[in-house]
Amino acid sequence: MMPSQLTRAAVVEHPHSFRPRSAGGKGRISVRDLDIVFATGSGPQRAVASASLEIQPGEFVSLLGPSGCGKSTLMNSVAGFVKPTRGEVLLDGHSIVKPGPDRGMVFQQHSLFPWKTVKQNVAFGPLMAGAGAREAESVANTFLALVGLSRYANAFPTTLSGGMQQRVGIARALANYPSVLLMDEPFGALDAQTRSMMQENLLEIWGEFKNTVLFVTHDIDEAVFLSDRIVVMSASPGRIIADIPVRLPRPRTQELLTTPEFMALKRECLALIREQTLRAFEQQNQAG
């Protein structure tokens, strides 16, 4: 099934349970003068430096930068996994101090429970949040329909392809109706064709729910194709050096990748990333 057919198929598969809820104007992320320093055997290591960022409810924002620049660390501070050394991170005006169901997380590796079925994996979040068994099953059915995997509800994750496992991961992350979806290179391990299909599927799901999405990627084409804005980070320590609006029309299809407007944005990002990657190499050589 192609990604453009998935959400339409979901309505057909579960016409009575399919009740996606919009994020309802929630999901404003505020990063204010953020520093994150880790203690290491060789002394303090500054991973993120003086980062400030505002993301509006419903925006799709990608973090782009060279390896080791602090993209995932910044995302983990929004998730509540990493505490700021200085500054603060807020969600809808409230300081983030720990993980919560208002933020769904999707990692590069699917991190599904291998001993649970697909449906049980998706139902796990609602159950932990206090839903009854019947309600949690209904929610799981809804989101499996949304990602086109209803027929695999009773399968175990190890029997699925990588792309299907990531679709289960997205369904699980959405099952608590979070206002923010945090995605850390979720398609990085997939082959090119599956990755392309997953990108289009993600945009359809985002169009249904209007969640705020913060997306970490190394792939410039992916960042331009998906995003409303691309936030570029410097070589370590990670600073925000550019905030590039992506004013390409939606809905987006793969034909967009060959347009002059797309290529111009790609060149702008490529120049910035090349500069920062060279800087990172220089830092490594000096350290060696």
Residue 83 has a pLDDT of 95
The pair of structure tokens assigned to 245 is 């609006």
CA atoms of 101 and 128, how far apart (whole Å): 10
Q: Is the confidence at residue 283, as pLDDT, over 80?
A: no
Q: Is residue 81 part of a domain?
A: yes
User: Is 2 exposed, middle or buried, given 0-12, 13-18 or 19+ CB atoms closer than 10 A?
Assistant: exposed
CA atoms of 44 and 256, how far apart (whole Å): 44
Residues 262-287 have a mean pLDDT of 86
> Whole domain around residue 44: which residue ranges?
22-113+179-287
Quick check: helix, strand or coil at residue 210?
coil
Q: Which carries the bigger pLDDT value, residue 227 or residue 197? A: 227
What would the pLDDT profile of 31-74 be if each residue is shown by its tens digit? 999 999 999 888 899 999 999 999 999 999 999 998 889 999 99
Q: What is the residue whose two structure tokens read 């209007």?
A: 210
Q: Is the confidence at residue 15, as pLDDT, over 50?
A: no
Residue 17 confidence class, pLDDT cut points 50, 70, 90: very low
Q: Which carries the bigger pLDDT value, residue 250 or residue 12? A: 250
Contact 93, 69 (CB under 8 A): no
Contact 74, 84 (CB under 8 A): no
135: enclosing H helix or E strand:
helix 133-146
pTM for the model stands at 0.88
Residue 134 has a pLDDT of 93
CA atoms of 170 and 110, how far apart (whole Å): 9
Residue 40 has a pLDDT of 87
CATH number at residue 193: 3.40.50.300
Residues 236-261 have a mean pLDDT of 94
Give the total number of structural domains in the chain: 1
Rounded to a whole number, what is the distance in angstroms from the first to the last CA of the chain?
50
Q: Is residue 137 part of a domain?
A: no
Q: CA 85 from chain center: how many Å?
A: 24
Measured from the Cβ of residue 16, the count of other Cβ atoms closer than 10 Å reads: 8
Q: Is residue 124 part of a domain?
A: no
Q: For the chain, what is the radius of gyration of the CA atoms? A: 19
Residue 8 has a pLDDT of 37
From 103-112, 120-129, 223-232, the region with the lowest mean pLDDT: 103-112
Q: Is the confidence at residue 284, as pLDDT, over 60?
A: yes
Q: Is residue 14 part of a domain?
A: no
Q: Is residue 132 part of a domain?
A: no
CA atoms of 150 and 174, how far apart (whole Å): 15
Q: Is residue 169 part of a domain?
A: no
CA atoms of 145 and 166, how far apart (whole Å): 14
Q: Is residue 156 part of a domain?
A: no
Q: Is residue 65 part of a domain?
A: yes
CA atoms within 13 A on the CB side of 146: 30
Q: b vs e for 246-270, b when ≥16 Cβ sit within 10 Å of the residue's Cβ?
A: beeeeebeeeeeeeeebeebbebbe
Q: pLDDT above 70 covers what percent of the chain?
A: 90
Residue 208 has a pLDDT of 86
What would the pLDDT profile of 26-41 be if each residue is shown by its tens digit? 999 999 999 999 998 8
Q: Which carries the bigger pLDDT value, residue 283 or residue 102? A: 102
CA atoms of 138 and 116, how far apart (whole Å): 17
Residue 18 has a pLDDT of 39
Q: Is the confidence at residue 23, as pLDDT, over 70?
A: no
CA atoms of 36 and 87, how far apart (whole Å): 9
Residue type at position 6 = L
Q: What is the residue whose two structure tokens read 């599927």?
A: 201
Residue 21 confidence class, pLDDT cut points 50, 70, 90: low
Mean pLDDT of the chain: 88
